A and B are shown apart, each in its own frame.
Chain A
Amino acid sequence: CASEPITKGYILDEKALAEVKPGLEAQKVLQIMGTPSTVSTVGNQTWYYISQMTTERARFLGPSIVDQRVIAINFSKNMKVERVANYGMQDGVVFDFVTRTTPTGGNELSVVRQLMRGAGLSNTP
């Protein structure tokens, strides 16, 4: 009883993508494709448009990804399209994320304090 797939992230329009050809300025790409989902970490040479298709087999399972596409547009130094790369679901590597986290500070909400403060309005933290 899976629900129909829903598009998450960037809504890809194949016709618009077809217009992005090498040599196109960045400004034009912006008009056609809209703001990219994210840009490369170092320098601004690559724009990424990331979209996923998810379905929800049962409400408690939550959405699961059935398809994933990443359009990567590399720009030359003078911000003209050099290459358009296309990553699919199969490129994604499946592995477990590290569960360790960097410690952070701040006052934890302790049971006693919660009972005392109710809605947490009094000024003691």
Chain B
Amino acid sequence: QSIVVQGNQRVDAATIRSYAQGSSPEQIRQDLLATGLFSSVSVSQRGGQVVVSVKENEVINRVVFQGNKKLKSDQLEAEVQSKARGPFSRAQVDADVQRLRDVYQRSGRGLASVSSRIVPLENGRVDVVFDVVEGEKTGVKQINFSGNEAFSSGRLRDQMTTTESNLLSFLKNSDVYDPDRIASDLELLRRFYLKHGYADFRVVSNDVKFDEAAGGYIVNIVVDEGRKYDVGEVNVESRIPDIDAQTLRSRVKTSAGDTYNAEDVEKSLQAITTEVASKGYAFAQVRPQGAKDPATGKIGIVYVVEEGPRVYIERINIRGNTRTRDNVIRREFDVGEGDAYNKVLMDKAERRLNNLGFFKRVRITNEPGSTPDRVIVNVDVEDQPTGQFSVAGGYSTADGFIAEVSLAETNFLGRGQFVRAAASLGQYSSGVEFSFTEPYFMDRRIAAGFDLFSKQTDNTRYSYYENRTTGGTLRMGLPITEETTALLRYSLYQTDLTIPNTTKRPYNDCWYPIPGFTPTQVIGGYTAGQYPDCVNNGEASIALKQAAGTRMTSLAGFTLNYNTLDNNRNPRNGLFAEWKQDFAGLGGDSQFIRATGEVRYYRELSDDFVGMLKVQGGQMWGNDLLITDQFFLGPSLVRGFAPGGLGPRDASDPRNNALGGTTYFGGSAEVQFPIFGLPRELGMRGAVFADAGTLFGYKGGFNFNAPYDNCPVTNPNVQTTCLSVYDSHQIRSSVGASLLWQSPLGPIRFDYAIPLSKAKYDQTQYFRFSGGTSF
């Protein structure tokens, strides 16, 4: 039957009729409303005809945003439903206002207020105007903990990725309130407590309220730590007939009496699983059964080994990798297609993939295979940007002010390769470097790579020369076991050592007098080279002048290191040992063999008290060594001494230049502790230490055929050309204290050390400062 359309101005009748095909009037009404074009529709039957009368929505002329600075108008436009020249509806605009408020809250501006205005125009159109007052950035102002006795709130905060707003908040966005991030932080907290024996730990409540006065969010986390558990009786129970449980005991990483540590339990599971698999039981499953006894504070752990279902992996599907290549992900799996399915090994792979840092999310799931004893493993990953552009600045008494700009990419072209380029500029040194690493060279777990560098350093503060080192290194890292790694390297570099000889820095004017500056009149009876006062205005020692010029060094070497530190940045437990061995002389100008070693042992004495013992040593073999090839040591061996401040010195030179030595050894003991009285929130820690060590054995040249042979010489004003070396084996020692501050600008360290024993010409430096930030 024919349809009469009334009340339409803009929408043509044909279109309305094409939508009025519904069987019942009510159906037609619903269809027409669904188009969103009409504010009201009524459908009635009159005689044979269906009468449809509509009232069209007004049409929006323009959608305008006012007062928005941080979020651009086109960004906001994409968020709202009301569009220019689209239908206008009051409900829609209100929904848009709420939507805009959410957008601002998520971008860290909880204080923003959004209101809407409708401006009618002559041609029946309307303008929709959204007025925005963005307000200040509202990050997380405070994260408060209550119920935490075992660990300071500061330490708990360190575990979280969300940080509190401070001076630097305009630089970072980790203080933006993001509920998902808070949720994942709570999981990090739980894992932290489980690692330190608090098996009953739970987060009682976590409420976040918006505080107008503070202009941000206050996060209150109430925790119930429960008691600290130690490991009670540990046992292995094998339900597989011919697997003897006792043989597996050696694999268990949790021993009775230790503090309960959930990570050790997981490591034990993996170790037992691998052991059982190697006995041919690839399907065995290992489950921990914990028996918690709150009264005694002991957790008995029984590792139950039982036969799992005989299921093989049919296929491993890797999905979602829009950037990382398939093999970069697949090679992190110890098991392949066709191998026995083993949950523990899957978790190990998931952990490895997360550690790569290439993915926002990694999820491994299974689905049944084509036959009952086959399973298909799906690995869903989500790539994340892995490029980093960072600017770092800092100051230290040794290097003065220094700034570095670096660009790094850890997943270059999705191949898992690491590329980094950096340029640094400072008061006393500047340089550029480029490095590349392929972590799976020749498809083996060999981290092969190369570095190119060019560094210019000005050592005139502690000696009298500047040098530029330019060259490259080829290196190959070979992991031997989980803890030990070997690093093979070959470096070829050229050093240009120059002795400044200007009016401001006349360090070579005895040999090359500066006209008009170095006095040239001769004092009674001495021949050339007798420019009085050329020594007193500071003169590089003969050995240094001998080393001046360009040298090529070509050395091969290896480093073996063993590392069980719990955290490389600030360790609390574990051992780090390193042996470095270099052989220079495959071509190049210097021939020497150099061996250095260092062992550091950390132990957490009681809560937050960390003790550290360190021994180090080094030895060089080779004769007629260049001065710059020898060891120049200072605070790195014994704190309280200036850089290059201890070791063999040039007795004939008024400033007693350091000449370097070929043998050194030393030790150090240090205890770090929180500073009492100061609120822990400041992040201040103190340390006291005692160092001792010595450097001796100068093996450079003694007599140099300088242009003027003045050796020995009696007149102190004239530079002798034969070296008299003060080389004492005395042990230098010092005691001191330091202040470590996790300041908003980055980690800062002040060291104050008083030398107890020093050799005659040693140069001391009681105070040392280093600090810097990168953002």
Q: Do chains A and B touch in the complex (CB under 8 A)?
A: yes
Q: Which single member of A8, A59, A111, A114 contacts B481 (CB below 8 Å)?
A: A59
Check A35 against B323 for contact (C-beta < 8 Å): no
Q: Which single member of B323, B340, B443 contacts A114 (CB below 8 Å)?
A: B323
Complex Cα spacing A60 to B340, Å: 23
Check B312 against A111 for contact (C-beta < 8 Å): no
Q: Does B294 contact A (CB under 8 A)?
A: no
Complex Cα spacing A26 to B477, Å: 51
Check A109 against B445 for contact (C-beta < 8 Å): no
Contact mask for chain B residues 468-510; partner A; CB cutoff 8 A; 1 contact, 0 none: 0000000001111110000000000000000000000000000
Check B322 against A7 for contact (C-beta < 8 Å): no
Contact mask for chain A residues 90-123; partner B; CB cutoff 8 A; 1 contact, 0 none: 0000000000000000000101001100111100
Check A120 against B323 for contact (C-beta < 8 Å): yes
Contact mask for chain B residues 308-323; partner A; CB cutoff 8 A; 1 contact, 0 none: 0010100000000011
Main secondary structure on B side of the interface with A: loop
Task: Report the nearest A residue to B335, measured CB to CB.
Answer: A8
Q: Which single member of A4, A35, A109, A119 contacts B374 (CB below 8 Å)?
A: A35
Q: Does A65 contact B (CB under 8 A)?
A: no
Binds A, one of B253-261, B274-282, B634-642: B274-282
Contact mask for chain A residues 1-13; partner B; CB cutoff 8 A; 1 contact, 0 none: 1011111111100
| Chain B, 610-643, CB within 8 A of any chain A CB | none
* A1-B481, A118-B387 as given contacts; A60 in contact with B444, CB under 8 Å: yes
Q: Does B339 contact A (CB under 8 A)?
A: yes
Complex Cα spacing A34 to B374, Å: 10
Q: Which residues of A contact B322 (CB under 8 A)?
A: 119-121
Q: Does A61 contact B (CB under 8 A)?
A: yes
| Chain A, 44-103, CB within 8 A of any chain B CB | 50, 58-62
Q: Looking at the assembled complex, report how far the CB atom of B99 sits from the nearest CB atom of chain A, in whole angstroms.
A: 22
Q: Which residues of A contact B414 (CB under 8 A)?
A: 109, 114
Q: Which residues of A contact B323 (CB under 8 A)?
A: 109, 114, 119-120
Q: Which residues of A contact B71 (CB under 8 A)?
A: none
Check B482 against A59 for contact (C-beta < 8 Å): yes
Q: Does A40 contact B (CB under 8 A)?
A: no
Check B336 against A59 for contact (C-beta < 8 Å): no
Complex Cα spacing A58 to B477, Å: 12
Complex Cα spacing A8 to B444, Å: 18
Q: Which residues of A contact B310 (CB under 8 A)?
A: 11, 34
Complex Cα spacing A114 to B387, Å: 9
Q: Does B118 contact A (CB under 8 A)?
A: no
Complex Cα spacing A100 to B479, Å: 31
Check A4 against B275 for contact (C-beta < 8 Å): yes
Q: Which residues of A contact B384 (CB under 8 A)?
A: 119
Q: Does B283 contact A (CB under 8 A)?
A: yes
Q: Does B385 contact A (CB under 8 A)?
A: yes
Q: Which residues of B contact A120 (CB under 8 A)?
A: 322-323, 383
* A60-B446, A119-B323, A119-B384 as given contacts; A8 in contact with B336, CB under 8 Å: yes
Q: Which residues of B contact A61 (CB under 8 A)?
A: 444
Check B278 against A3 for contact (C-beta < 8 Å): yes
Q: Which residues of B contact A10 (CB under 8 A)?
A: 312, 338
Complex Cα spacing A4 to B281, Å: 13
Task: Report the nearest A residue to B359, measured CB to CB.
Answer: A119
Main secondary structure on A side of the interface with B: loop
Size of the chain B interface, CB-CB below 8 angstroms: 39
Q: Does B371 contact A (CB under 8 A)?
A: yes
Complex Cα spacing A122 to B106, Å: 21
* A60-B480, A62-B445, A119-B323 as given contacts; A50 in contact with B338, CB under 8 Å: yes
Q: Looking at the assembled complex, report how far the CB atom of A62 sits from the nearest CB atom of chain B, in whole angstroms.
A: 5
Q: Looking at the assembled complex, report how far the CB atom of A116 sits from the nearest CB atom of chain B, in whole angstroms.
A: 11
> Which of A6, A7, A50, A62 has the most CB atoms of chain B within a 10 A radius of its CB?
A6
Q: Looking at the assembled complex, report how far the CB atom of B539 sits from the nearest CB atom of chain A, in whole angstroms.
A: 52
Q: Does B158 contact A (CB under 8 A)?
A: no
Q: Does B413 contact A (CB under 8 A)?
A: yes
Complex Cα spacing A34 to B277, Å: 19
Size of the chain A interface, CB-CB below 8 angstroms: 27
Q: Does B347 contact A (CB under 8 A)?
A: no
Q: Looking at the assembled complex, report how far the CB atom of A122 sits from the nearest CB atom of chain B, in whole angstroms.
A: 11
Q: Which single member of A5, A11, A111 contacts B340 (CB below 8 Å)?
A: A11
Q: Does B233 contact A (CB under 8 A)?
A: no
Check A58 against B413 for contact (C-beta < 8 Å): no
Check B413 against A119 for contact (C-beta < 8 Å): no
Q: Does B373 contact A (CB under 8 A)?
A: yes
Task: Report the nearest B residue to A118, measured CB to CB.
Answer: B385
Check A7 against B282 for contact (C-beta < 8 Å): yes
Check A6 against B373 for contact (C-beta < 8 Å): no
* A7-B282, A50-B338, A59-B479 as given contacts; A35 in contact with B312, CB under 8 Å: yes
Q: Which residues of B contact A59 (CB under 8 A)?
A: 445, 479-482
Complex Cα spacing A118 to B340, Å: 37
Check B385 against A7 for contact (C-beta < 8 Å): no
Complex Cα spacing A35 to B481, Å: 36
Q: Which residues of B contact A35 (CB under 8 A)?
A: 312, 371, 373-374
Q: Looking at the assembled complex, report how far the CB atom of A44 sits from the nearest CB atom of chain B, in whole angstroms.
A: 14
Check A6 against B278 for contact (C-beta < 8 Å): yes
* A37-B338, A119-B383, A119-B384 as given contacts; A60 in contact with B413, CB under 8 Å: no
Complex Cα spacing A34 to B369, Å: 13
Contact mask for chain B residues 331-367; partner A; CB cutoff 8 A; 1 contact, 0 none: 0000110111000000000000000000010000000
Q: Which residues of A contact B274 (CB under 8 A)?
A: 3, 6
Task: Report the nearest A residue to B340, measured CB to CB.
Answer: A11
Complex Cα spacing A109 to B413, Å: 6
Complex Cα spacing A73 to B280, Å: 22
Complex Cα spacing A58 to B412, Å: 27
Check A7 against B277 for contact (C-beta < 8 Å): yes
Contact mask for chain B residues 400-423; partner A; CB cutoff 8 A; 1 contact, 0 none: 000000000000111000000000
Q: Which residues of B contact A109 (CB under 8 A)?
A: 323, 413-414
Complex Cα spacing A78 to B577, Å: 67
Q: Which residues of A contact B443 (CB under 8 A)?
A: 62
| Chain B, 372-404, CB within 8 A of any chain A CB | 373-374, 383-385, 387
Q: Which residues of B contact A7 (CB under 8 A)?
A: 277-278, 280, 282, 340
* A11-B280, A114-B413 as given contacts; A119 in contact with B385, CB under 8 Å: yes
Q: Looking at the assembled complex, report how far the CB atom of A91 sits from the nearest CB atom of chain B, in whole angstroms.
A: 19
Contact mask for chain B residues 264-275; partner A; CB cutoff 8 A; 1 contact, 0 none: 000000000011
Complex Cα spacing A118 to B282, Å: 40
Complex Cα spacing A50 to B338, Å: 9
Q: Which residues of A contact B283 (CB under 8 A)?
A: 11
Complex Cα spacing A11 to B336, Å: 14
Q: Looking at the assembled complex, report how far the CB atom of A40 sits from the nearest CB atom of chain B, in whole angstroms.
A: 16
Q: Which residues of B contact A9 (CB under 8 A)?
A: 338-339
Q: Can you spell out 10 A-B residue pairs with CB atoms less than 8 angstroms apart? A: A1-B481, A4-B279, A6-B274, A10-B312, A11-B283, A59-B482, A60-B479, A115-B387, A119-B322, A120-B322
Please report A residues at the B interface, Cβ cutoff 8 Å: 1, 3-11, 34-35, 37, 50, 58-62, 109, 111, 114-115, 118-121
Please report B residues at the A interface, Cβ cutoff 8 Å: 274-275, 277-283, 310, 312, 322-323, 335-336, 338-340, 360, 371, 373-374, 383-385, 387, 412-414, 443-446, 477-482
6 A-B pairs with the lowest CB-CB distances in the bound complex, closest first: A118-B385, A4-B278, A120-B322, A60-B478, A59-B479, A35-B371
Seed contacts A5-B278, A34-B310, A118-B387; 11 additional CB < 8 Å A-B pairs? A1-B480, A1-B481, A6-B278, A11-B281, A34-B373, A37-B338, A58-B481, A59-B480, A114-B414, A118-B385, A119-B384
